[in-house]
Amino acid sequence: MDFSGKAVLVTGASQGIGRAIARQFAARGARVAVHCHRNRRAAERTRAGLPGGPHLVVEADVGDAGAVARMVDAVAAGLGGLDVLVNNAGIHEPHPIAEVSYAEWQACWRRTLETNLLGAANAAWCAARHMMRQGGGRIVNVSSRGAFRGEPAAPAYGASKAGMNAMSQSLAKALAPHRIFVGAVAPGFVTTERTAPFLDGPEGEEVRRQSPLGRVATPDEVAYAVVFLASAGAEFTTGTIIDVNGASYLRS
């Protein structure tokens, strides 16, 4: 999978899965825009660790539609176009219905949908405009196993990822005539900076036992699936949702 000279924007790339995605694209010759919301220092560390280049760091609140448009335009200007968008940025906030106030419930749903779903939709709209002018491109959305099995402690998160899957399939149909191919990757638990405290705690072993492999995914395993969907030769997979959960959850 060769991405020499391709311009790639990865949202939420300052750490974890996003950082692994950025590294894998850069290792295959891409010029990468590393997005962050507030943690610019971490994003700069990600950029500094990428081979090749030139690479960019862009900062934006993906829940802000205007900021998303400015970010995508800045990436296209800075990298001389935009070939691949990876919508990876997202939030996960526990809000079990029996334990939060009505105000907390509404606020969490609003923040989660604005970031995880509307932010991705807006980035896709903006990126598609540049890709149409270039004659094609790729959009890959990072979803979640929770879109299928449910997220009782964080229902807005599960709903946002289910919406992302539906959006991916709708856009795959709408954008195929423009040679813009769209797919999604749905990971289960992944070892990252955010999940490490939970996986190292008392519930970690139970989570690992959910997979017959007896472990959770690495960020690079998720990144590999993203890179595949964005690669030349994978066009006929458009509309696909790839599960990366080690058979911990199998859907029909």
**pTM reported for the whole predicted model:** 0.96
Q: How many CB atoms lie within 10 A of CB 133?
A: 12
Q: With contact defined as beta carbons under 8 Å apart, do 191 and 213 qualify?
A: no
**φ, ψ of residue 31 in degrees (nearest 5):** -95, 125
Phi-psi region of 136 (alpha: psi -120 to 50; beta: other; left: phi over 0): left
Is a pLDDT exceeding 90 seen at residue 56?
Answer: yes
Q: Domain coordinates of the chain in residue numbers?
A: 7-244
Distance CA 252, CA 5 (A): 39
Is 102 among the residues known to form the active site? no
**φ, ψ of residue 181 in degrees (nearest 5):** -110, 135
pLDDT recorded at residue 4? 97
The model's confidence at residue 252, banded by pLDDT at 50, 70 and 90, is confident
Q: With contact defined as beta carbons under 8 Å apart, do 160 and 143 qualify?
A: no
Q: What count of Cα atoms within 13 Å lies in the side-chain half-sphere of residue 28? A: 19
Query: How is domain 7-244 classified at the CATH fold level?
Result: Rossmann fold (3.40.50)
Distance CA 112, CA 104 (A): 12
- Cα 71–74–79 angle (5° rounding)? 125
Q: Among residues 102, 157, 224, 249, which one is catalytic?
A: 157
Is a pLDDT exceeding 90 seen at residue 52?
Answer: yes
Write the pLDDT tens digit of every residue in 162-199. Answer: 999 999 999 999 999 999 999 999 999 999 988 888 88
